């Protein structure tokens, strides 16, 4: 399956105390095994890295994990001025945070479902893309 992977799923896959840890871990295992194909915005690596570092994961472990995910990503979407305007429009229309709007925009662009744990994204992005849980 091709999907847009939200950072929330990648973070929950590492953190055993997260409510959706098992499902997220299973999804990440499928991604790393090549069973699922992912597309992510360039900010994905920053979000996952920062989130895991903030909760005390070692820098080496965080970098290895993020690098592994980025190495299997079929698409890493960069954000230039034109895309920034389009993402801004999604953010304004859906009332989403900037990073969240980036994932929603990418899902709409790619015509792929957005795999997320974020309830706000799930509630607000229906006009742009389909949302699936891990």
What pLDDT sits at residue 99?
A: 96
Strand partners, 2: 37
Determine the structural domain holding residue 81 and report its residue range: 2-132
Q: Is 69 helix (H, G, I), strand (E, B) or coil?
A: helix
Measured distance CA(47)–CA(20) in Å, rounded: 18
* Structure token digits, residue 63: 């970098």
Here the CATH number for the domain that contains residue 50 is 3.40.50.1010
Give me the average pLDDT of each 10-residue run along the chain (134 residues).
97 95 98 98 98 96 98 96 97 96 98 97 93 97
Number of continuous H segments (helices) and E segments (strands) in the chain: 7, 5
Backbone phi, psi, residue 6, to 5°: -80, 150
Q: How many domains does the chain have?
A: 1
């Amino acid at each position: 399956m091709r999907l847009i992977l939200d950072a929330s799923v990648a973070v929950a896959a590492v953190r055993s105390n997260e409510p959706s840890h098992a499902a997220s871990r299973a999804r990440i295992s499928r991604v790393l095994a090549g069973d699922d194909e992912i597309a992510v915005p360039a900010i994905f690596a920053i979000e996952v890295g920062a989130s895991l570092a903030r909760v005390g994961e070692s820098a080496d472990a965080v970098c290895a994990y993020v690098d592994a995910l980025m190495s299997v990503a079929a698409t890493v979407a960069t954000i230039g001025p034109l895309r920034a305007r389009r993402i801004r429009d999604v953010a304004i229309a859906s009332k989403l945070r900037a990073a969240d709007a980036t994932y929603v925009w990418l899902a709409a662009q790619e015509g792929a479902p957005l795999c997320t744990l974020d309830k706000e994204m799930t509630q607000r992005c229906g006009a742009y893309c389909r949302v699936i849980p891990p």
